[in-house]
Amino acid sequence: MYEKTLTQLAAALKSGEFSSRELTAHYLQRIEQADGKLNSFISVTAEQALKQAEVAERPSGRQRRAAVRHSPSAQRYFLHPGRETSCGSKMLDNFIAPYNATVVEKLNAAGTISLGKTNMDEFAMGSSNENSYYGPVKNPWDLTAVPGGSSGGSAAAVAAGLVPAAMGTDTGGSIRQPAAFCGITGLKPTYGRVSRFGIIAYASSLDQAGPMARSAEDCAHLLGVIAGHDGRDSTSVARGVPDYVEGLNAPLSGLKIGLPKEYFGDGLDPDVEKAVREAVKVYESLGATVREVSLPHTHYAIPAYYVIAPAEASSNLSRYDGVRFGHRCDNPSDLIDLYTRSRAEGFGEEVKRRILIGTHTLSEGFFDAYYTKAQQVRRLIRQDFLDAFEDVDVLMGPASPTPAFDLGAKKDPVSMYLQDIYTIAVNLAGIPGISVPAGLAGGRPVGLQILGTHFAEAQLLNVAHQFQQATDWHLQRPAFAEEYA
């Protein structure tokens, strides 16, 4: 069963090949057998999942979302009442969410079944999943490699066939980069397309939730469920949700593809470049035209991001004070001791680094020099994309400069930050992006990143789907997945 995509599973469920309970039990068994080696789940909620499957099997008049109904999935750190939602942090170890995130509510209403919470970098800060309080996740393509981050658990679980689809969030690349490293498809929607209500905040002006699955078609089904306006998130956009599945089969003839020259420069692994250029050739054979474009401010994306994201994070994380929720130190001598020791004990090293940077750049005297300047640069980066989309329909390039690197290989924070060189500007601009499997480099997957203008998700999914009709990279599985029944 696990080798099927979400769309194929839906057909099999419909034809009665197996039941929702059998399917759920199958995945739970795979998690039990394989996850000891991967560490892709922080918590597995088997009992609740089987109960949900039973409910999903009851005849219901409204089977609109047939493709996702009965389908198991896993969420990262979306609040889910009664379920542990730790966000990869000791600070929230054993924290039980009091209410539903809108994304969870929508997935529940569509009849999907939640198997548990996937592992992730602490508070979504990282590019390798090595910053998790619960230990690193292994890449199922090679257990000595990282799965990418911060949605590394979601990506590894989907690639290993422990779950057919999972949710991630992407603040600077955390859906696309792990999707690329694990050979799956991951979509970061336009900022505002999906409600952030009930998603633990990292950098509020950049965070966006999206689907991670085997195929663009699966992502189209899931995005249709989770997208839409939500009165509880004032940044979610009141705009109709198109039928993303219906839009998948538009022909690509005449599609204008831009290749940003800044995405093919120094630091790009030659094997990754080769795979991406091969993929672009496939598009040419499908009738697309290709030209080089420029995004001149690309170089400033990482510095601007590492001012804005830590600034927002330092503010968002100030709520963890040991008083209202989260970790509390033992025997505080007074209130200040309670705050400082609870935070010192509860947060990991990378989170503390970001809080320090963010607090510094927001402080009087530095605010204009850093924060205001970074916001000005952000505007220029956004304008680069808007200018490029005057001339071309989509942009293509690598999702990441290298394939998955070895666990423990990146010791200094800056080399880790550089991992997101091709993904981070997209969040600063608020546009959507998708990573699709496009080959292997040294046995490790390569992701092709496709970018579109604001609210171009339907087009991106169509462009990705057509590639997946012409190639089978997205259907390839690591040998690890085949080791379990």
Q: Dig out the tokens for 312 from the structure.
A: 């927002």
| Rounded least distance, CB 16 to ligand GLN, Å | 40
| Rounded least distance, CB 482 to ligand GLN, Å | 30
DSSP states of 153-175: HHHHHHHTTSSSEEEEE-SSSTT
Nearer to ligand GLN, 249 or 415 (CB): 415
Nearer to ligand GLN, 170 or 384 (CB): 170
Nearer to ligand GLN, 148 or 439 (CB): 148
| Rounded least distance, CB 101 to ligand GLN, Å | 16
| Rounded least distance, CB 298 to ligand GLN, Å | 16
| Rounded least distance, CB 146 to ligand GLN, Å | 12
Q: Dig out the tokens for 201 from the structure.
A: 């905040």
Bridge partners, residue 74, by sequence: 116, 166
Backbone angles phi, psi at 255, to 5 degrees: -65, 130
Nearer to ligand GLN, 25 or 309 (CB): 309
Give CA–CA dist 460/357, Å, rounded: 35
Nearer to ligand GLN, 193 or 221 (CB): 193
| Rounded least distance, CB 21 to ligand GLN, Å | 34
Q: Dig out the tokens for 185 from the structure.
A: 């498809």
Nearer to ligand GLN, 150 or 453 (CB): 150
| Rounded least distance, CB 202 to ligand GLN, Å | 6
Alpha carbon dihedral 16, 21, 24, 29, in 10-degree steps, equals: -110
Q: Which residue has the tokens 């022909």?
A: 251
Beta strand 165-169 with 209-213 is antiparallel
| Rounded least distance, CB 427 to ligand GLN, Å | 7
DSSP reduced 3-state for 229: coil
Backbone angles phi, psi at 402, to 5 degrees: -135, 165
Beta strand 185-188 with 72-75 is unpaired
Element housing 37 (H / E): helix 20-38
Binding site for ligand GLN (CB under 6 A): 124-127, 150, 170-174, 202, 309, 420
Nearer to ligand GLN, 112 or 127 (CB): 127
Nearer to ligand GLN, 321 or 350 (CB): 350
DSSP reduced 3-state for 480: helix
Give CA–CA dist 172/417, Å, rounded: 10
